[in-house]
Protein backbone atom coordinates (compact mmCIF):
# COMPACT_ATOMS: atom_id res chain seq x y z
CA UNK A 1 0.00 0.00 0.00
CA UNK A 2 1.66 3.23 -1.13
CA UNK A 3 -0.69 5.79 0.41
CA UNK A 4 -2.43 5.77 3.75
CA UNK A 5 -6.13 5.02 3.91
CA UNK A 6 -8.21 6.99 6.37
CA UNK A 7 -11.23 4.83 5.70
CA UNK A 8 -12.06 1.79 3.60
CA UNK A 9 -13.06 2.51 -0.02
CA UNK A 10 -16.83 2.29 -0.40
CA UNK A 11 -16.95 -0.65 -2.85
CA UNK A 12 -14.23 -2.75 -1.24
CA UNK A 13 -16.48 -5.52 0.04
CA UNK A 14 -18.32 -5.73 -3.28
CA UNK A 15 -15.11 -6.14 -5.27
CA UNK A 16 -13.72 -8.59 -2.74
CA UNK A 17 -16.81 -10.72 -3.38
CA UNK A 18 -16.64 -10.68 -7.18
CA UNK A 19 -12.99 -10.05 -8.05
CA UNK A 20 -12.24 -13.44 -9.58
CA UNK A 21 -15.53 -13.59 -11.49
CA UNK A 22 -15.03 -10.03 -12.72
CA UNK A 23 -11.54 -10.84 -13.98
CA UNK A 24 -12.80 -13.97 -15.72
CA UNK A 25 -15.64 -12.21 -17.56
CA UNK A 26 -14.58 -8.62 -18.16
CA UNK A 27 -12.72 -9.37 -21.41
CA UNK A 28 -15.92 -10.50 -23.12
CA UNK A 29 -18.83 -9.12 -21.05
CA UNK A 30 -20.80 -6.94 -23.50
CA UNK A 31 -21.12 -3.77 -21.39
CA UNK A 32 -17.37 -3.75 -20.84
CA UNK A 33 -15.84 -5.27 -23.97
CA UNK A 34 -18.25 -3.97 -26.62
CA UNK A 35 -19.58 -0.75 -25.15
CA UNK A 36 -17.45 1.09 -22.58
CA UNK A 37 -13.99 -0.09 -23.61
CA UNK A 38 -14.14 0.75 -27.33
CA UNK A 39 -15.47 4.22 -26.50
CA UNK A 40 -12.84 4.96 -23.87
CA UNK A 41 -9.99 3.65 -26.03
CA UNK A 42 -11.18 5.82 -28.92
CA UNK A 43 -10.47 8.92 -26.79
CA UNK A 44 -6.83 8.00 -26.16
CA UNK A 45 -4.04 9.54 -28.23
CA UNK A 46 -1.31 7.31 -29.67
CA UNK A 47 0.20 5.62 -26.59
CA UNK A 48 3.41 4.35 -28.20
CA UNK A 49 6.33 5.46 -26.03
CA UNK A 50 4.05 7.35 -23.63
CA UNK A 51 4.04 7.01 -19.85
CA UNK A 52 0.52 6.17 -18.73
CA UNK A 53 -1.16 5.91 -15.33
CA UNK A 54 -4.01 3.39 -15.24
CA UNK A 55 -5.95 4.78 -12.27
CA UNK A 56 -8.28 2.03 -11.10
CA UNK A 57 -6.78 -0.82 -13.07
CA UNK A 58 -9.01 -3.63 -11.80
CA UNK A 59 -7.72 -6.96 -13.12
CA UNK A 60 -5.44 -5.24 -15.63
CA UNK A 61 -7.41 -5.22 -18.88
CA UNK A 62 -6.56 -1.64 -19.84
CA UNK A 63 -2.99 -1.93 -18.54
CA UNK A 64 -2.43 -4.93 -20.81
CA UNK A 65 -3.86 -3.12 -23.83
CA UNK A 66 -1.67 -0.11 -23.11
CA UNK A 67 1.57 -2.04 -22.71
CA UNK A 68 0.73 -4.17 -25.76
CA UNK A 69 0.52 -0.91 -27.73
CA UNK A 70 3.90 0.35 -26.61
CA UNK A 71 3.15 2.38 -23.47
CA UNK A 72 5.12 2.43 -20.24
CA UNK A 73 2.41 1.79 -17.66
CA UNK A 74 1.98 2.36 -13.94
CA UNK A 75 -1.27 0.89 -12.61
CA UNK A 76 -3.02 1.42 -9.29
CA UNK A 77 -6.12 0.03 -7.62
CA UNK A 78 -7.63 0.19 -4.13
CA UNK A 79 -8.58 -3.49 -3.99
CA UNK A 80 -5.96 -6.05 -2.99
CA UNK A 81 -7.59 -8.88 -4.95
CA UNK A 82 -7.70 -6.77 -8.11
CA UNK A 83 -4.05 -5.82 -7.72
CA UNK A 84 -3.15 -9.52 -7.35
CA UNK A 85 -5.18 -10.45 -10.43
CA UNK A 86 -3.62 -7.62 -12.46
CA UNK A 87 -0.14 -8.77 -11.48
CA UNK A 88 -1.00 -12.31 -12.54
CA UNK A 89 -2.31 -11.08 -15.89
CA UNK A 90 0.67 -8.84 -16.62
CA UNK A 91 3.56 -10.82 -15.06
CA UNK A 92 6.03 -7.99 -14.36
CA UNK A 93 5.26 -6.04 -17.54
CA UNK A 94 3.69 -3.17 -15.56
CA UNK A 95 4.32 -1.54 -12.18
CA UNK A 96 1.17 -2.17 -10.15
CA UNK A 97 0.49 -0.63 -6.74
CA UNK A 98 -2.24 -0.81 -4.13
CA UNK A 99 -3.42 2.79 -3.76
CA UNK A 100 -6.64 4.59 -2.86
CA UNK A 101 -7.78 7.42 -5.16
CA UNK A 102 -9.53 9.04 -2.20
CA UNK A 103 -6.06 9.82 -0.83
CA UNK A 104 -3.25 12.02 -2.25
CA UNK A 105 -1.04 10.26 -4.79
CA UNK A 106 2.11 11.53 -3.11
CA UNK A 107 4.20 8.59 -4.33
CA UNK A 108 3.78 9.77 -7.95
CA UNK A 109 6.19 12.50 -9.07
CA UNK A 110 5.02 15.79 -10.58
CA UNK A 111 4.84 16.10 -14.39
CA UNK A 112 5.95 12.53 -15.15
CA UNK A 113 2.96 11.10 -17.05
CA UNK A 114 1.71 11.77 -20.57
CA UNK A 115 -1.70 10.15 -20.06
CA UNK A 116 -3.98 9.23 -17.17
CA UNK A 117 -6.78 6.79 -17.98
CA UNK A 118 -9.41 5.89 -15.38
CA UNK A 119 -12.11 3.54 -16.69
CA UNK A 120 -15.27 3.05 -14.60
CA UNK A 121 -13.50 3.96 -11.37
CA UNK A 122 -14.32 7.54 -10.45
CA UNK A 123 -17.89 6.64 -9.44
CA UNK A 124 -16.32 5.24 -6.25
CA UNK A 125 -14.49 8.49 -5.42
CA UNK A 126 -16.40 11.31 -3.74
CA UNK A 127 -13.85 14.17 -3.85
CA UNK A 128 -13.07 14.89 -7.49
CA UNK A 129 -11.60 18.32 -6.72
CA UNK A 130 -8.72 16.71 -4.88
CA UNK A 131 -8.33 13.85 -7.35
CA UNK A 132 -8.29 16.00 -10.49
CA UNK A 133 -5.70 18.27 -8.86
CA UNK A 134 -3.57 15.16 -8.33
CA UNK A 135 -4.00 14.08 -11.95
CA UNK A 136 -3.15 17.59 -13.12
CA UNK A 137 -0.03 17.61 -10.93
CA UNK A 138 1.40 14.35 -12.27
CA UNK A 139 0.64 15.04 -15.93
CA UNK A 140 3.09 16.82 -18.20
CA UNK A 141 1.99 19.94 -20.09
CA UNK A 142 -0.65 18.99 -22.67
CA UNK A 143 -1.01 15.64 -20.91
CA UNK A 144 -4.29 13.85 -21.49
CA UNK A 145 -6.87 12.63 -18.96
CA UNK A 146 -9.43 10.10 -20.20
CA UNK A 147 -12.07 8.60 -17.94
CA UNK A 148 -15.42 6.84 -18.08
CA UNK A 149 -18.23 6.78 -15.53
CA UNK A 150 -21.81 5.63 -15.27
CA UNK A 151 -23.94 8.22 -17.02
CA UNK A 152 -25.34 10.84 -14.56
CA UNK A 153 -28.70 10.75 -16.31
CA UNK A 154 -29.30 7.04 -15.88
CA UNK A 155 -27.97 7.03 -12.32
CA UNK A 156 -30.42 9.77 -11.37
CA UNK A 157 -33.26 8.15 -13.29
CA UNK A 158 -32.70 4.89 -11.40
CA UNK A 159 -32.87 6.70 -8.04
CA UNK A 160 -35.09 9.71 -8.78
CA UNK A 161 -37.80 8.73 -6.32
CA UNK A 162 -35.45 9.09 -3.37
CA UNK A 163 -32.60 11.19 -4.78
CA UNK A 164 -31.76 14.84 -5.37
CA UNK A 165 -30.16 15.47 -8.77
CA UNK A 166 -28.26 18.53 -7.56
CA UNK A 167 -26.38 16.68 -4.82
CA UNK A 168 -23.57 14.13 -4.82
CA UNK A 169 -25.26 11.08 -3.33
CA UNK A 170 -24.31 7.55 -2.38
CA UNK A 171 -26.46 5.04 -4.26
CA UNK A 172 -26.43 1.26 -4.63
CA UNK A 173 -27.06 -1.25 -7.41
CA UNK A 174 -27.44 -5.03 -7.44
CA UNK A 175 -24.97 -6.31 -10.04
CA UNK A 176 -25.97 -9.65 -11.54
CA UNK A 177 -23.55 -9.95 -14.46
CA UNK A 178 -20.62 -11.60 -12.69
CA UNK A 179 -22.08 -14.91 -11.54
CA UNK A 180 -23.71 -13.76 -8.30
CA UNK A 181 -25.79 -10.89 -6.99
CA UNK A 182 -23.49 -8.26 -5.47
CA UNK A 183 -24.66 -5.01 -3.88
CA UNK A 184 -22.35 -2.29 -5.21
CA UNK A 185 -22.30 1.26 -3.78
CA UNK A 186 -21.15 4.26 -5.81
CA UNK A 187 -21.59 8.03 -5.97
CA UNK A 188 -24.14 9.72 -8.20
CA UNK A 189 -23.43 13.32 -9.16
CA UNK A 190 -24.95 15.95 -11.47
CA UNK A 191 -23.28 16.80 -14.76
CA UNK A 192 -21.97 20.06 -13.31
CA UNK A 193 -20.08 18.07 -10.64
CA UNK A 194 -18.51 15.99 -13.42
CA UNK A 195 -17.22 18.92 -15.49
CA UNK A 196 -16.56 21.78 -13.05
CA UNK A 197 -13.85 19.95 -11.06
CA UNK A 198 -11.99 19.38 -14.34
CA UNK A 199 -12.08 23.07 -15.18
CA UNK A 200 -11.19 24.08 -11.63
CA UNK A 201 -8.15 21.79 -11.65
CA UNK A 202 -6.81 23.37 -14.83
CA UNK A 203 -7.99 21.00 -17.55
CA UNK A 204 -9.48 21.92 -20.90
CA UNK A 205 -12.40 19.71 -21.90
CA UNK A 206 -11.82 18.26 -25.39
CA UNK A 207 -14.49 15.65 -25.99
CA UNK A 208 -17.46 13.90 -24.40
CA UNK A 209 -18.83 10.60 -25.65
CA UNK A 210 -22.21 9.11 -24.86
CA UNK A 211 -21.36 5.87 -26.62
CA UNK A 212 -23.54 3.43 -28.47
CA UNK A 213 -23.01 -0.33 -28.27
CA UNK A 214 -21.33 -2.01 -31.23
CA UNK A 215 -22.53 -4.90 -33.39
CA UNK A 216 -20.77 -7.53 -31.28
CA UNK A 217 -22.79 -6.31 -28.31
CA UNK A 218 -25.99 -6.77 -30.32
CA UNK A 219 -25.10 -10.35 -31.14
CA UNK A 220 -24.48 -11.24 -27.50
CA UNK A 221 -27.22 -9.19 -25.82
CA UNK A 222 -29.96 -7.99 -28.23
CA UNK A 223 -32.21 -6.73 -25.43
CA UNK A 224 -29.42 -4.77 -23.77
CA UNK A 225 -28.41 -3.41 -27.16
CA UNK A 226 -31.87 -2.00 -27.82
CA UNK A 227 -31.96 -0.43 -24.36
CA UNK A 228 -28.59 1.30 -24.83
CA UNK A 229 -29.63 2.56 -28.25
CA UNK A 230 -32.41 4.50 -26.48
CA UNK A 231 -30.88 5.37 -23.11
CA UNK A 232 -27.24 6.04 -22.15
CA UNK A 233 -25.26 3.77 -19.87
CA UNK A 234 -21.83 5.37 -19.65
CA UNK A 235 -20.22 8.76 -20.16
CA UNK A 236 -16.63 9.03 -21.50
CA UNK A 237 -14.54 12.21 -21.19
CA UNK A 238 -11.23 13.47 -22.59
CA UNK A 239 -9.52 16.54 -21.13
CA UNK A 240 -6.05 18.06 -21.53
CA UNK A 241 -3.77 19.74 -18.98
CA UNK A 242 -3.39 23.41 -19.86
3-state secondary structure 51-69: EEEEECCCCCHHHHHHHHC
Q: Is a pLDDT exceeding 90 seen at residue 118?
A: yes
Q: Is a pLDDT exceeding 80 seen at residue 5?
A: no
pLDDT at position 7, please?
80
pLDDT band of 179, cuts 50, 70, 90: confident
Domain boundaries, the chain: 12-151+191-241
Contact 175, 150 (CB under 8 A): no
Question: pTM surpassing 0.85?
Answer: yes
Among 1, 36, 13, which residue's Cα sits nearest to residue 233? 36
Average pLDDT, the chain: 95
pLDDT at position 186, please?
97
- What 3-state DSSP class applies to 190? coil
Q: Is a pLDDT exceeding 70 seen at residue 2?
A: no
State the fold for domain 12-151+191-241: Rossmann fold (3.40.50)
Q: Is a pLDDT exceeding 70 seen at residue 6?
A: no
Sign for the CA dihedral angle at 136, 191, 183, 233 comes to: negative
pLDDT band of 235, cuts 50, 70, 90: very high
Among 125, 121, 123, which residue's Cα sits nearest to residue 53? 121
Amino acid sequence: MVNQRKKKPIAQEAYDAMAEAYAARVDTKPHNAYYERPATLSLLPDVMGKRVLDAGCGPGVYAKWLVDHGAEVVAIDANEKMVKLARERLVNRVQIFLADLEQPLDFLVDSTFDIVVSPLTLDYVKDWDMLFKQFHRILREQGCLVFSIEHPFVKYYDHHQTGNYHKIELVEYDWVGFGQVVRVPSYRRPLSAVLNPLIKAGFTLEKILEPLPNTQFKQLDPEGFEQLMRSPGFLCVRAVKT
